[in-house]
Amino acid sequence: MELPETGSCCKDYKALVDQYLLMNVRNTFGIELPIADEYFVTLNMISKKIIVAKTFSDTVIENQPLHYLLNSLIHAINSGLVKSDDMIAELAAENTTVTNF
């Protein structure tokens, strides 16, 4: 997803990424974990593309399986292997309430 500037689109994208990461953590580990503060979404000044920047807490870093999962998912998002439509489709398949993005 490309944006001309940061703003509500980044907030919407962050909400989508939140839901996607939470679903994957829940499906992989069977836990509900608040991870919204473990990363932020911003606009790359050069490419003008949205990126997910990790700000992992010690709790995540010390939990190797969780750290690996979140690293892998964020890498897939940032590299374009997982796009917005892919996240929405996976959330819909899980019957997760998906906000309009």
Asked if residue 63 is part of any domain, the answer here is: yes
pLDDT single digits (tens) 25-42: 999 999 988 889 999 999
The first and second tokens of residue 24, run together, are 């994957």
Asked if residue 100 is part of any domain, the answer here is: no
pLDDT higher than threshold 60 for residue 75: yes
- What is the count of structural domains for the chain? 1
Cα distance between residue 53 and residue 50, in whole Å: 10
Per-residue pLDDT at 2? 42
Asked if residue 41 is part of any domain, the answer here is: yes
Asked if residue 2 is part of any domain, the answer here is: no
Per-residue pLDDT at 3? 39
pTM of the model: 0.83
Asked if residue 101 is part of any domain, the answer here is: no
Asked if residue 1 is part of any domain, the answer here is: no
- Mean of per-residue pLDDT scores for the chain: 87
pLDDT higher than threshold 80 for residue 15: yes
